[in-house]
Copies of this chain bind each other. A is one copy, B any other.
Amino acid sequence: MTAYLAEHVEQVRRAAERIRPHVRRTPTLTTDLDPGLRLKPECFQVTGSFKPRGAFNAVLSLVEEGSRPPGVIAVSSGNHAQAVALAAATVGLPALILIPEDANPAKVAATRALGAEVIQEGITFANREERLREMMAERGFVLVHPFNDWNVIHGQGTVARELLEDEPDLEVIAAPCGGGGLLSGTAISAKSHRDGVKVVGVEPEAADDAYRTWKSGSIQTLTASPATLADGVRTTAIGARNFEVMFGNRLVDEIVTVTENEIANAVRVAWTRLHLALEPTGALPLAAYLSAKLPKGRTGLVLSGGNANLQTMATLLGT
């Protein structure tokens, strides 16, 4: 194991200890699809996605360091928002979340219900980074970035760490890739477990920046937020730290892309065969598996979350 990997896996181990009182150890499931397949259903995590692992690790680390800030801030229209709101409330810090005006009202309500202050007025996908900098300067709140943050990456690494504790013989692990927080953490845990475990990131064909980044060797950016069912991976580029782990240090073997039809089919299979109510983003690795796009071998799928838009689900199921 390289010194780089050894250092990061030690941080994942510490993250696992730090967050243990606040998150769930989700089960590993077997299925009727294939005796060699294992699922890590993070839809059963607190708030319905893996995001609290990274958010708790970041917020608890802030507080441990003694430099208790006046509050934390995040930009998110989805699962990261709820995760940061919960972690901040748990340690008694105010949380301010910037959510684009056109976001799903149910997710906004869920974030507010966890005690966070939500600002939506005038926030767009285009201007949100600028508004974030303004609000940080104004209040002195500390940013909890959704993926380009070491504490977040190490927290997300606890998913694959648990999966490999349960199933040490896995040969392939696939996880969704948006900004790369979950995939970076997955890669650290998998490659430190055994160098030969293949780590695969899955993203929608319509949001193939990570695929192009992998192929080109430098960070590629989408020109606009992509239109995809998998609304959890609509980030336009992976982060610098994520690039460093995934491609700079070659801890990710491959990025595969799936079509919107393949995502929709995977959601239906999750419902009908696996009995998991996944959100489309959470079904990305299943889509790659069902489309035979993953390497052969005993495979673990990280199913990242279940906070689906109900209207989308009803439509997918009715067809």
A314 located at the interface, meaning its Cβ lies under 8 Å from any Cβ of chain B in the complex? yes
- Tell me if B29 and A46 are in contact (CB < 8 A): no
Bitwise interface map of A from 68 to 104 toward B, beta carbon under 8 Å scored 1, else 0: 0000000000000000000000000000000000000
Q: Is the interface of A mostly helix, strand, loop or mixed?
A: helix
- Per the 8 Å Cβ criterion, residues 20-51 of A in contact with B are 24, 27, 29-30, 32, 41, 43-44, 46-48
* B residues near A274, Cβ cutoff 8 Å: 277
- Tell me if B24 and A27 are in contact (CB < 8 A): no
A318 located at the interface, meaning its Cβ lies under 8 Å from any Cβ of chain B in the complex? yes
A222 located at the interface, meaning its Cβ lies under 8 Å from any Cβ of chain B in the complex? no
CB-based nearest B residue for A270: B277
Binds B, one of A147-155, A183-191, A305-313: A305-313
* B residues near A314, Cβ cutoff 8 Å: 314-315, 317-318
A133 located at the interface, meaning its Cβ lies under 8 Å from any Cβ of chain B in the complex? no
- Tell me if B310 and A271 are in contact (CB < 8 A): yes
Q: With A and B bound together, what is the CA distance between A91 and B222 in angstroms?
A: 56
- Tell me if A44 and B24 are in contact (CB < 8 A): no
Residues of A within 8 A of B (CB): 24, 27, 29-30, 32, 41, 43-44, 46-48, 268, 270-278, 306, 308, 310-311, 313-315, 317-318
